[in-house]
A = this chain, B = another copy of it.
Amino acid sequence: MALPQPLADLEAVLTETARAVEHLLDELLPLPTGPEARVVEAMRHAVFAGGKRIRPFLVVCSADLFDVPRTQSLRVAAAIEMVHTYSLVHDDLPAMDDDDLRRGKPTVHVKFDEATAILAGDALLTRAFEVLADPNASPDPQIRADLVLALARAAGAQGMVGGQMIDILTEGTSLNVGQITRMQQLKTGALISFACEAGAVLGQARMRERHALLAYAHDLGLAFQIADDLLDVAGSAAEVGKRTGKDEARGKANFVSLLGVSGAGQQADMLSTQAVGHLDSFGVKGGLLRELAAFVIKRRA
């Protein structure tokens, strides 16, 4: 009988963490009794559409490095998943990417309507900040305020929203690798960095540890994005759970169109290795984060 493969273990832990986060999300998004329940139904439709819950996993694994109680890190993990979900709901809108399928299910504006989708996104973003500011996230108000500040920076006009703005504005124009890298660092990288930073904030990590985690997140985020671009080219809609070949159809440059399939794959491998290198000081405790860096680039297979 073959020995258990590390990645198989990782997938089990990923699934277990995802279930724990989903259980908490269910608690954090109760249906109200008034007619406003519709917006919460839409929030829940978006949040419970599945997904690997990579960002929550990063929060939990980063916080585990500093022995933060899971009751705290899971709450922060749930908050970041709300922000990620809100960004998908708004990005899928007809005025943005106009996607009708997400993780194999109808997007919120298709299942409900555009107004409800806009409001559901707004409310998910708002609820995320509420969860971070709630004493259940951490008994220390300084940590709660720092989490809110870091998330707002990552998600705002100088972070995720800024990246989405650039993505929309540059559709049909030819970006170079440097420009695409910056766009992706804002659009997807900033929130991935926040996920790792949140663990460090919760754990009151020393500056050196915080920088190591941010460097890991930086490389991981780009590797993740390149793997996504490879999936967009190579995957079928059934595997990926959303329309594929989208970038090409829209004349959008991405890492694969600029570097080629082989070049992009090499770049992702290099970034994944580099990400792992930043974890040296955490020793054996960094095991799951190391495995994750291998996992995100394997998704393309």
Contacts and interface: CB of A to CB of B under 8 A. Distances in A.
Interface in A131-156: 132-134, 141-142, 144-146, 148-149, 151-153, 155-156
Nearest to A134: B149
B36 A166 contact: yes
Contact of A39 (B113, B148, B155, B161): B161
Given A115-B96, A127-B152, A145 B133 contact: yes
A75 B113 CA distance: 36
Contacts of A39: 157, 161-162, 165
A126 B35 contact: no
Interface string A171-198: 0000000000010001000000000000
Interface stretch (A116-124, A218-226, A254-262): A116-124
Copies of this chain held together in the complex: 2
Nearest to A29: B157
Where chain A touches its partner, the secondary structure class is: helix
Q: Which 3 A-B pairs give the minimum distances between C-beta atoms?
A: A130-B152, A36-B162, A95-B114
The interface centre, meaning the residue of A141, A148, A170 with most chain B CB atoms within 10 A of its CB, is A148
B115 A95 contact: yes
Nearest to A159: B126
23 contacts: A32-B157, A35-B170, A36-B157, A36-B163, A36-B165, A36-B186, A38-B165, A38-B169, A39-B161, A90-B118, A90-B119, A93-B115, A116-B165, A119-B165, A122-B122, A122-B161, A129-B129, A129-B152, A130-B152, A130-B153, A134-B149, A141-B141, A141-B145
A166 to B, nearest CB: 5
